[in-house]
Amino acid sequence: MIETGLQEKVVVVTGAASGIGKATARRFAAEGCHVASWDVEEGEPEQCGMFQKVDVSDRSAVDRAIAEVIARWGSIDVLVNNAGILRDAQLVKVKNGELNGGMTDEQFDATIAVNLRGVFVCTRAVAAHMVAAGKGGVILNASSVVGLYGNFGQTCYVATKAGVIGMTRVWARELGRHKIRVNAVAPGFIATNMIRSMPEMILQNMRDHTPLRRLGSPEEIANAYVWLASDAASFVSGAVLSVDGGLVTGT
- 225: annotated active-site residue: no
Say how many residues make up the chain.
251
pLDDT at residue 108 in the model: 95
245: nearest Cα among 216, 203, 204: 216
Residue 14 three-state SS? strand
What is 10-250's CATH topology? Rossmann fold (3.40.50)
pLDDT in tens, the chain (251 residues): 567 899 999 999 999 999 999 999 999 999 999 999 999 998 776 566 899 999 999 999 999 999 999 999 999 999 999 999 989 888 888 888 888 889 999 999 999 999 999 999 999 999 999 999 999 999 999 999 999 988 888 999 999 999 999 999 999 999 999 999 999 999 988 888 777 777 888 889 888 888 899 998 999 999 999 999 999 999 999 999 999 898 865 45
Instruction: Select which of 157, 171, 189, 225 is catalytic.
Output: 157
**Helices and strands counted in the chain (H then E):** 11, 9
pLDDT at 197: 75
d(CA 44, CA 139): 23
Q: Which residues pair with 82 in a beta bridge?
A: none
List the one residue out of 18, 17, 16, 149 whose CA is nearest residue 78: 16
For residue 249, the model assigns a pLDDT of 59
- Residues 88 and 90: their CA atoms lie apart, in Å, by 7
Domain-wise residue ranges, the chain: 10-250
Residue 96 has what pLDDT?
A: 83
